[in-house]
Amino acid sequence: MIRPSVRTDKRIPAGPPRVRSLRTRPGREEPRVDDQPVLDPLGAVRTPDDPETDVYLTGTVFLDIIFTGLDSAPVRGTESWARGMGSSPGGVANMATALARLGLRTCLAAAFGDDVYGDYCWDSLAEGEDIDLRPSRKIPGWHSPVTVSMAYEGERTMVSHGHEAPPPEETAPACPPPSRACVASLVPGRPRQEWIGTAARHGSRVFADVGWDESGRWDPSDLSDLEHCDAFLPNAAEAMAYTRTDCPRAAARKLAELVPLAVVTLGPEGAYAVDSGTGQCAEVPALDVEALDPTGAGDVFVAAFVTGALAGWPLADRLAFACLTAALSVQEFGGSLSAPGWIEIAAWWQHAKAYDDQDRTALRRYAFLDDLLPTGTRRWPLRRAVPTIGFRPYR
């Protein structure tokens, strides 16, 4: 069963409608934009007894302000002018947005300030992306964490500011809502997160990533929550640091001793996975794209991999799909701004088959998209509306 569901972003008075992958509520007519359906990737596996939520996650939401069009890094004592800028919810909102745009029913628990930034992030996620924020809360007198990101030469530099939220400090409920899956971010040096074990005992599949250890200790005890997880998805540097290896593939094999599925992202080389249950290994090369801004690419990769896992796709297809969506995201600026939906993915596939700008052998890895994607999509590349604080909704 494919359930198309789309939405346009009416906040932006520029460009064609921005297509969203939103859940369809019972009794509501299936909307379309430009006659383009957006598929439900879990349509074939849904049953009446399924939980309302596909994926639950928790973390910190930042207001991201992104400066683009910088020719080089800012130089001390000088003023740099950017040719463009945008703003959007960031932090855990990057992954929540990526999940929602792929059609998964996404629930987020986070703290939001009661300032204009917090209201903007809340509205963007709840109204713009149809993310369920019922477990989230607004905190009086607390201002939103902010990150300023400057993108140049395919990389970015970020400056962040924020304060710990006042009591009650726990954003995540002790017992998360029933869901098919949870995404957990392990935090180096922090205590174990009890909600992860609770979610696993209640039947959720838990997918984990990990933050960068600024202390440099890379203590394996930071990964103790992996005993409750179905999969662990670190990047190559993180995987090698925790396993004390000098090869990301060797690191993946060692991590597979701790968790049923270890997936290590290899940056421009793609991704490698080891399934300890079946003994299967898979590796998929990255696509050749021009990277403008890598912000949020890891979050997009995890969201796409979770989508394929919940849909029951083969391991190699999950890896390929995750690499593809991450590649599409780095061609746009910003974190949640750049997360692709099905229309963008379908448009890229149509273009890739028609033009000789990708390795033909590598493209055969994506033949499974022919049976998955909607047809008749718009041409690639798409114009995209860029949200910015200050625009008023259309009346």
Domain-located, residue 390: no
Confidence band for 10, pLDDT divided at 50, 70 and 90: very low
The pLDDT of 126-147, averaged and rounded, is: 93
The pLDDT of 207-219, averaged and rounded, is: 94
The pLDDT of 186-202, averaged and rounded, is: 93
Give whole-number Cα distances, 125 to 53, 63, 95, 376, in Å.
Answer: 16, 12, 11, 28
State residue 250's pLDDT score. Answer: 97
Q: Checking DSSP bridges between strand 231-232 and strand 146-152, what pairing results, if any?
A: unpaired
Is 291 or 286 the better-scoring residue by pLDDT? 286
Residue for token pair 């598929």: 39
Give me the number of domains the chain comprises: 1
pTM: 0.85
Instruction: Among 184-188, 227-231, 287-291, name the one with the lowest average pLDDT.
Output: 287-291
State residue 268's pLDDT score. Answer: 83
**What are 20's strand-pairing partners?**
none
End-to-end alpha-carbon separation of the chain, Å? 35
Is the pLDDT at 9 greater than 90? The verdict is: no
Would you tell me the crossing angle of helices 342-354 and 315-329 to the nearest 10 degrees? 90
The pLDDT of 189-196, averaged and rounded, is: 91
> 125 in helix, strand or coil?
helix
User: In terms of residue numbers, what domain contains 106?
Assistant: 53-229+287-371
201 alpha-carbon distance from chain centroid: 25
Percent of the chain topping pLDDT 90:
56
Nearest-angstrom CA–CA distance, 108 and 132: 6
Provide the strand spans (E) within the chain: 53-58, 61-68, 84-91, 106-109, 111-113, 137-139, 146-152, 155-161, 179-186, 205-210, 231-232, 261-265, 271-275, 281-284
Confidence band for 37, pLDDT divided at 50, 70 and 90: very low
Nearest-angstrom CA–CA distance, 2 and 317: 19
Confidence band for 392, pLDDT divided at 50, 70 and 90: low
Which two structure tokens, joined as six digits, stand for 126?
């709840």
Is the pLDDT at 286 greater than 90? The verdict is: no
Domain-located, residue 269: no
What is the side-by-side order of every strand in the sheet holding 84-91? 84-91, 61-68, 146-152, 155-161
Domain-located, residue 185: yes
Is the pLDDT at 20 greater than 70? The verdict is: no
147: domain CATH number is: 3.40.1190.20
Domain-located, residue 249: no
Sign, Cα dihedral of 290, 341, 357, 15: negative
Main-chain dihedrals φ then ψ at residue 151, nearest 5 degrees: -100, 130
Domain-located, residue 323: yes
Domain-located, residue 250: no
Which of 299, 300, 272, 268 has the alpha carbon at shortest distance from 286?
A: 268
Neighbouring C-beta atoms of residue 73, cutoff 10 Å: 12
Mean pLDDT computed over every residue of the chain: 83
Domain-located, residue 358: yes
Domain-located, residue 385: no
273 alpha-carbon distance from chain centroid: 19
Is the pLDDT at 329 greater than 50? The verdict is: yes
